[in-house]
Every structure is written in structure tokens, then in C-alpha cells.
Amino acid sequence: MSEERGRKLLMDLAKVVSEKVAPSGEPILNREGLKMIERVARDLTAPGGMPGLKLWRDAPAKFRLRREPRNAELSLHWQRDIGAMVMIGEKHGGPKAMMRYVFDGELQHWRRMDGEGELYEDLAAALVEYLYPEGRPQE
């Protein structure tokens, strides 16, 4: 391989990688996942957020939510190894419900892996289902 062709190969690779990696070398997707965990945790516990909600940080990439006296739990965590946000809801004594989300860079939001729905909509529905049944619409 000629030196010129080799240099072009490296420059092309650098261009492709730079679209997915920050200048620090950190994958951009990982940074988006960690930012989303922090943003949602802050929104839920801020003044004017969900009343009576308890948030436990298991790691920078994961938190769990509970509300007394409800016997249920929600968790949200960023799984870097698969590049997905995972929400798990569980009413104690019942089966766990899990939903995965991927970051849509074009639309700048987290959508369900199956393509139907998005993180904020599903989180609001899960909060009503597991922790805040008072939020159900009156019929």
C-alpha cells in the first residue's frame, strides 16, 4: 500500500469515528445515556416534581424509584454495553415489565427499541401504573 493511500485510509477512518466519539475519546452515545439518567432523576426530584417520591442512585448510570406506601418500584438505567436505556417496573409479588430505548440521533430523543413510543411517555405511564394510581384519568 502506498503511503498516500494509507494516509487517506486513516483520514477516512478518523472522519467516520469522529461522528461517534467525542474529542476526549468517550463515545457520544454513552455521554447521551448518562446525561439522560441525570436529567430524568433531576426532573423527578426537583421542587415541583413528583410528591413523596424516593430516588436511590445505585450508580451514575442507574436509579430506582419508590413511593410509600406503594409496594412497587421503577428503575431506569443506561446499559452502555448494549447502547440502550432500560426501564423496569415491578409491583412486588408480580412479574417485572421491561422496556428498552435507543437514542435516535436524528430526532434527538429516546425511542423504544421496537419503534413505538418514547421514554418520557412511557415513564409517565409507568409512574401512574406503579407508583401514582391517583394520576389515572377519571372516568
Cell numbers for 65: 424509584
Q: Is 14 inside a domain boundary?
A: no
Res 45 pLDDT > 60: yes
Confidence category of residue 14, pLDDT binned at 50, 70, 90: confident
Whether pLDDT at 24 is above 70: no
Confidence band (pLDDT; 50, 70, 90) for 107?
confident
Describe the strand order of the beta sheet including 62-67 as a list of residue ranges. Answer: 53-59, 62-67, 72-79, 84-91, 96-104, 109-112
Residue 101 has pLDDT above 90, yes or no: yes
Q: Give the pLDDT confidence score for residue 90 in this predicted structure.
A: 95
Domain assignment of residue 65, given as a range: 27-135
Q: Output the domain CATH number for residue 71.
A: 3.30.920.10
7 within some domain: no
**Residue 99 counted as domain residue:** yes
| Residue 25, pLDDT above cutoff 70 | no
- pLDDT for 116 equals 84
Distance of CA 78 to the CA centre of its chain: 5
Q: How many domains does the chain have?
A: 1
- The stretch 66-95 carries a mean pLDDT of 93
